[in-house]
């Protein structure tokens, strides 16, 4: 007969465990523990407590901050998962010093860090500077669009939300009518169907009441063009955004990164999908952070700065000039002008319609003739937002309507008349054209590709390794806290990897 080792679950064992010995030097948990205990100023949290003489003893904010940072580093964004780790994972048990805060305590602590999060971020940044992790010569700006704790189905403009409310009310009336008709029938079946209908009616009525109250209490949102944009009932500061994963309801999380060791010097979450206006707040925020480290107002002067084509706007380019940054922000057509991509079909210009070179200019009369031989007369001179000066020529309406080449002409929209824009000059304030010249230069084509090696690994680390695929909080303030905490732990990892003791 086979013999096995005897086991007895009632047997008692004594395990002498030193919590401090579980935090080994050189590990991330050791860096978190040491930084929070010795370098991060957590005195700001004490003002929120009123239990000096009466009240229950509270968890120390240092303990809560440590387990939240380690939880985010391990991909645990849920406060319930962090609570579970504090009961089961020896590293979390050691970092929490045997304490087991519940999930509501952890969640409340995170959402209450509005005034403390930025000073803590700057404290970590100061340690990075003391360790020589900041180069201060090359910077890259990029963003990550993530879903928020908001339902995309409850989004829309005020007219759209009004129509949604009317559809819900119509559905309620239909259900109530069906219910009355069935009650009036002598042979109506008895069973759970009536109860299900009543529950559905109550649910729809609550939705209609919620919509009505929200429309009464909230004003419409307007975009940069002055047109109304979609609002959201669950988180009105979030926005619908197009991403590679489809349309999401969320936030655009921005990070400005120092190129030497990929340390984030400023981070902020915005409720706007487009990056056209994110340059000024990000650069100003980074400058304030650097001032707290002892640097001056002219810190960015002459430094290299890169961002992708989404940031190519007059607003961002003006800010770079104001700070005297040596910026490289290409427009969307920069690869078409680059001879290195000439052999790649994806960058070839598409010629489905006629362009300016297909029209013949007659200087004596100052008019153009189209490929069909019809005359276009000059009507205006216009300066666009990017500083490009154009002359506008227009065809006669009857010529365009009878033209057999109408569908190939200029634009895809089937207007009655076709308008031809002819660039004739550039204003001195044309930042876009100047930037295109810089990016297309030999120096620009060497500098701009360095952005990929600086910015992309940072977002890969946060999204893939730390598994931040959504925000669990609502409102810009709370989402910004969560984003800054993730950027903090990214910087703390850099500190740990480069020999913090």
Q: What homologous superfamily is domain 135-149+245-330+448-487 in, according to CATH?
A: Ribonuclease H-like superfamily/Ribonuclease H (3.30.420.10)
pTM surpassing 0.75?
A: yes
Q: Distance (Å, rounded) from C-alpha 485 to C-alpha 73?
A: 10
3-class SS of residue 477: helix
Going from the C-alpha of 65 to that of each of 56, 71, 358, 426, 445, the distances in angstroms are: 20, 10, 65, 54, 43
Q: What is d(CA 59, CA 100) in angstroms, rounded to the nearest whole number?
A: 9
Each of the 501 residues of the chain gets a pLDDT tens digit; together they read: 899 998 899 988 888 888 999 999 999 999 999 999 999 999 999 888 888 888 889 999 999 999 999 999 999 999 999 999 999 999 999 999 999 999 999 999 999 999 999 999 999 999 999 999 999 999 999 999 999 999 888 999 999 999 999 999 999 998 888 878 877 775 555 544 556 888 899 999 999 999 999 999 999 988 877 888 899 999 999 999 998 888 999 999 999 999 999 999 999 999 999 999 999 999 999 999 999 999 999 999 999 999 999 999 989 999 999 999 999 999 888 888 888 887 776 766 665 678 777 888 888 888 899 888 888 888 876 655 445 677 888 888 888 877 888 777 876 555 677 888 887 664 545 788 889 889 999 999 999 999 999 999 999 999 999 999 999 999 999 999 999 999 999 999 999 999 776
Q: Cα–Cα distance between 67 and 74 in angstroms, integer?
A: 10
- Domain locations in the chain? 20-112, 135-149+245-330+448-487, 152-183+194-232, 356-427
* Strands ordered across the beta sheet of 388-395: 360-362, 367-369, 375-383, 388-395, 419-426
Distance CA 269, CA 254 (A): 6
Instruction: Give me the residue label for tokens 């004739």.
Output: 424
């Amino acid at each position: 007969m086979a013999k096995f080792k005897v086991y007895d679950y009632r047997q008692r064992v004594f395990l002498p465990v030193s919590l401090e010995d579980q935090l080994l030097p050189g590990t991330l948990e050791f860096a978190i523990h040491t930084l929070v205990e010795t370098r991060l100023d957590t005195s700001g949290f004490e003002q929120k407590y009123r239990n000096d003489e009466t009240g229950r003893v509270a968890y120390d904010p240092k303990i809560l901050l440590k387990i939240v940072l380690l939880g985010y580093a391990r991909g645990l964004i849920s406060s319930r998962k962090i609570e579970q780790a504090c009961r089961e994972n020896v590293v979390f048990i050691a970092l929490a010093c045997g304490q087991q805060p519940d999930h509501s305590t952890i969640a409340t602590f995170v959402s209450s860090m509005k005034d403390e999060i930025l000073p803590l971020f700057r404290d970590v940044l100061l340690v990075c500077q003391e360790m020589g992790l900041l180069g201060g010569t090359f910077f890259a700006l990029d963003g990550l669009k993530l879903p928020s704790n908001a339902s995309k189905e409850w989004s829309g403009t005020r007219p759209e939300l009004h129509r949604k409310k009317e559809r819900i009310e119509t559905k309620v009336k239909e259900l109530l009518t069906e219910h009355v008709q069935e009650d009036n029938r002598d042979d109506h079946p008895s069973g759970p169907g009536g109860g299900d209908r009543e529950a559905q009616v109550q649910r729809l009525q609550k939705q209609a009441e919620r919509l009505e109250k929200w429309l009464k209490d909230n004003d419409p949102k307007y975009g940069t063009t002055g047109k109304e944009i979609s609002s959201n009932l669950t988180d009105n500061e979030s926005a619908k955004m197009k991403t590679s994963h489809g349309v999401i309801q969320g936030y655009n999380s921005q990070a400005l990164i120092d190129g030497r060791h990929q340390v984030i010097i400023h981070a902020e979450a915005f409720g706007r999908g487009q990056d056209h206006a994110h340059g000024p707040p990000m650069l100003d925020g980074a400058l304030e952070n650097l001032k707290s480290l002892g640097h001056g107002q002219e810190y960015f002067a002459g430094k290299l700065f890169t961002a992708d084509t989404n940031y190519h706007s007059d607003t961002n380019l003006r800010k770079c000039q104001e700070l005297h940054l040596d910026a490289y922000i290409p427009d969307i057509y920069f690869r078409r002008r680059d001879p290195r991509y000439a052999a790649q079909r994806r960058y070839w210009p598409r010629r489905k319609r006629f362009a300016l070179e297909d029209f013949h200019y007659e200087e004596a009369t100052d008019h153009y003739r189209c490929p069909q031989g019809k005359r276009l007369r000059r009507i205006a001179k216009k300066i666009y937002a990017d500083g490009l000066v154009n002359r506008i020529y227009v065809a006669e309406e009857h010529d365009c309507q009878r033209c057999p080449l109408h569908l190939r002409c200029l634009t895809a929209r089937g207007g009655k008349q076709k308008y031809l824009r002819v660039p004739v000059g550039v204003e001195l304030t044309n930042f876009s054209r100047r930037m295109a010249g810089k990016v297309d230069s030999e120096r620009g084509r060497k500098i701009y590709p360095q952005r990929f090696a600086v910015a992309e690994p940072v977002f890969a680390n946060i999204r893939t390794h730390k598994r931040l695929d959504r925000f669990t909080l609502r409102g810009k303030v709370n989402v910004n806290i969560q984003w800054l905490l993730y950027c903090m732990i990214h910087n703390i990892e850099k500190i740990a990897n480069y020999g913090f003791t």
